[in-house]
Amino acid sequence: MTAGTYGVAVAAAGAVTCLGDSADTTWQALLQGRSGLGPLTLFPADGHRSTTTGQVPGYDGTHGGDRLAALAARAIGQAVEQASAGAGLAAEDVADAWVVLGISLGDIFEQRGQDVELDHFWDRVAQPLGLTGPLVTLSSACSSGTDAVAYGADLIASGVARVVLAVGVDSLEPGKFTGHSRLKTMSPDRCRPYDAASDGTTLAEGACCLVLTAPQDVRGEPLAHLAGWAAGTDIDSLTSPDMSGENAARMLRAALAMAGAGPRDVAHLNGHGSGTPVNDEMEAAVYRQVFPDGQAVLSGTKGALGHSLGATGTVEALVTAYALRDRTAPPTAGLRRPHERWAGIPVAAGRPAPLGGAPLGLSVTYGFGGANSCVVLAGTAR
């Protein structure tokens, strides 16, 4: 297997998270084991299960559609500039690119009166950036961002689109915060993926954009290649996953089969790592079914970045691309003592973990309603 055999390149990227105002600063902060989790200041949250969030700094005074537009525009603007200046894509191709927007709930609960679409804010992003291409909006709970990347890759691989902007975005909003508080999915303390004392997730916000195109259209080496992708649905519960992990494991194998690869070709697994006990238990079952030899280094980002819902899949695909490029998995922030279910599995904790020579990385998301999604990435030399 060689990277040149893969038909979809990640030519450029941009991101804004609670840890950094760009893709590079976010990655460097993750490698250092830093966490962007802190107190919520956007709206009152007294009486909720937690007031800790992954709030993006520097956007005070913006709410609802304006906040979604500001976050998305920041990430897309970075990616578009990098695509034209660094990756050598034609400016007109980038301007006319298809946009696949992944968003979970956005600010939909804050709307009053007439129904609005999840992407109602899009004109506030597209017009200032000069984006004129078609827009496809996907919403599949926590897997929305991953599905945006996979759908975008389909558009490139099938020849429908020359350039695709795969975007994930979500913002912190009172309705979502209250809902997760009442569902008791939020940790009273903070998200601790894979920890023996994990007791819930930490809600967050952010945006990420991956610019996808054919490898031959990229000047120099792209950030990564997309080698395979797959999605599936458990339909086990509105909120809880299929605890056997069988359906999720089948999805991972399907994505690897599309890449012409197997478990031994995987160096890194970027897990969903939401920090909820049921998710951690299910993920351990999936890992042992797909990687019985325990060779893939596992890490999760939500202890550092929180759970940004519709944005998390694109952000974590980006992190996986960086991990493959630098041959290093970031440490899992918040992880103090791995749960016994992870015994014998290489979980990156405390410090970055070197990756072996296998060429691939997997980024997985597991959403409400059993919305399971996965993308397989192949790294390029730095």
174 versus 115: the higher-pLDDT residue is 174
> Is residue 272's pLDDT more than 60?
yes
H/E stretch holding 8? strand 8-16
Q: What is the pLDDT of residue 52?
A: 97
DSSP bridge partners of 116: none
Query: Does residue 31 contact residue 352 with C-beta atoms inside 8 Å?
Result: yes
CA distance 366 to 145: 11
Which of 183, 198, 275 shows the shortest CA–CA distance to 238? 183
Which of 323, 322, 372 shows the shortest CA–CA distance to 12? 322
Q: What is the pLDDT of residue 113?
A: 73
Assign 350 a pLDDT band (cuts: 50, 70, 90). very high
Q: Which domains does the chain have, with CATH numbers?
A: 3-217 (3.40.47.10), 224-379 (3.40.47.10)
> Is residue 382's pLDDT more than 80?
no
Strand-strand pairing, 38-39 and 52-53: antiparallel
Q: What is the pLDDT of residue 348?
A: 97
Q: What is the pLDDT of residue 335?
A: 97
H/E stretch holding 152? helix 144-157
CA distance 233 to 365: 12
Residue type, 331: P
Assign 115 a pLDDT band (cuts: 50, 70, 90). confident
Averaged pLDDT of the chain: 94
> Is residue 74's pLDDT more than 90?
yes
Strand-strand pairing, 98-102 and 38-39: unpaired
Distances (CA, A) of 255 to 250, 258, 334: 9, 5, 29
Q: What's the whole-model pTM score? A: 0.96
Q: What is the pLDDT of residue 341?
A: 95
CA angle 133, 139, 141 (to 5 degrees): 150
What percentage of the chain has pLDDT greater than the value 70? 96
H/E stretch holding 83? helix 64-85
Which of 143, 306, 210 shows the shortest CA–CA distance to 8? 210
Q: What is the pLDDT of residue 2?
A: 36
Q: Find tokens 């700094």 and name the residue.
A: 57
> Is residue 3's pLDDT more than 90?
no
For residue range 291-330, list pLDDT tens digits in order. 999 999 999 999 999 999 999 999 999 999 999 999 999 9
For residue range 197-246, list pLDDT tens digits in order. 999 999 999 999 999 999 999 999 999 999 999 998 876 666 667 778 99
- Compute the average pLDDT of residues 138-145: 95
The number of angstroms, rounded, from the C-alpha of 315 to the middle of its chain's C-alpha atoms is: 4
* Residue 46: Cβ-neighbour burial (10 angstroms; 0-12, 13-18, 19+): exposed
- Compute the average pLDDT of residues 265-289: 95
For residue range 147-206, list pLDDT tens digits in order. 999 999 999 999 999 999 999 999 999 999 999 999 899 999 999 999 999 999 999 999
Q: What is the pLDDT of residue 29?
A: 98
Assign 21 a pLDDT band (cuts: 50, 70, 90). very high
Assign 111 a pLDDT band (cuts: 50, 70, 90). confident
Q: What is the pLDDT of residue 237?
A: 64
